[in-house]
Amino acid sequence: MKARVIVTLKAGVLDPQGKAIEGALRSLGVEGVAGVRQGKVFDVELETADRAEAEAQLKAACEKLLANTVIENFAIEI
């Protein structure tokens, strides 16, 4: 089963990289960008075919390693 995990910075956490990307877009003439926040995407191949099991495994993966829950949120797409 294929799944996707998306890790994003929590609201209120400063994101200097996102700010730099936002500035670069502006200098490239890309208009209308009000803000950029950088995150991470993990495409994960799971052995199970069971949706609930996959969700539980990915949640554990996020909490143990993929996200630092002090500053990051995660979302799971199966």
Residues that bind other proteins (CB under 8 A): 13-14, 16-17, 20, 64-66, 68, 70-71
User: Based on CB atoms, which residue is closest to other proteins, 1 or 21?
Assistant: 21
Cβ 13 to other proteins shortest distance, Å:
7
Q: Is 70 exposed, middle or buried (0-12, 13-18, 19+ CB in 10 A)?
A: exposed
* SS3 (DSSP) at 76: strand
Cβ 68 to other proteins shortest distance, Å:
6
Q: Are 72 and 43 in contact (CB under 8 A)?
A: no
User: Based on CB atoms, which residue is closest to other proteins, 20 or 30?
Assistant: 20
